[in-house]
Amino acid sequence: MRLRSITASVILACATCVAPAALGTGAESSAIQPCPEVNDPPSYSFSKSSTAWMATNLRSDYLRGPGTITYNKTATSTVNASITGTTSAEAGVIFAKASVSLAVSVGASYSKSDSWSYAATVPAGKAMRLQQYKEGRAFTVQKYRIVPPCKTKYLWTKKVKAPVKNASYLWQLVS
C-alpha cells in the first residue's frame, strides 16, 4: 500500500510540473520572440530625395544665333525612370513604396499628349535648341531584410530617377 501512495505522489508531482508547460501557461510560452521580422520578405528604405529635371523626347531643331527659336507642336511627351538591375514587378513595388515614403507620386514612366508652345532667344554665335524637361525625383533606395539574430542585411543600394505624376515641365536652351 505504501508503494502505491508513493507512486501516486510522484505522478501527481510530475503532472503539476508538466501540465503548465504542455498547456502553454509556463515560462516557455511567455517568452517573446526577439525579432519577429526575421521571416518577413525584403523591405526597402528611401533616402537622399531631391528634385530632378528629366529630359523628355520633345526638343526642337538647332538654331544658330542670334535669333528666336520656337517649338510649337501637338505631340506626346514621354520620359522613363532610370533604375537598373530590377524586374519590372520589383520596380513597381519600389515606385509604389517610394511614392508613400517621398510623399509625392512617382512612376516608371510618364506621358502626356498636348499642344506644346515655347520660344526662347538664342545668343549670337551659339547653336542651341529647346529641350523639354519633366519634373522628377532622384533618390537612393536600399533593399534589405532582417536576418538572425535580428540584424539588418543590405542586399543592394541603387540610385533612381523617376518622373513625378503631375504636369510640371520646364523648357531650356541646350547646346
Q: How far apart are CA 95 and CA 98, in angstroms?
A: 5
* C-alpha 95 chain-centroid distance: 5
Q: What is the pLDDT of residue 39?
A: 82
pTM of the model: 0.75
From first to last of its 175 residues, the chain has per-residue pLDDT tens of: 444 444 444 444 444 444 444 444 444 444 556 788 888 999 999 999 999 999 999 999 999 999 999 999 999 999 999 998 888 899 999 999 999 999 999 999 999 999 999 999 999 999 999 999 999 999 999 999 999 989 999 999 999 999 999 999 999 999 9
Q: What is the pLDDT of residue 84?
A: 87
In the chain, which residue ranges form alpha helices assigned H by DSSP? 2-23, 27-30, 88-102
Q: How far apart are CA 78 and CA 54, in angstroms?
A: 10
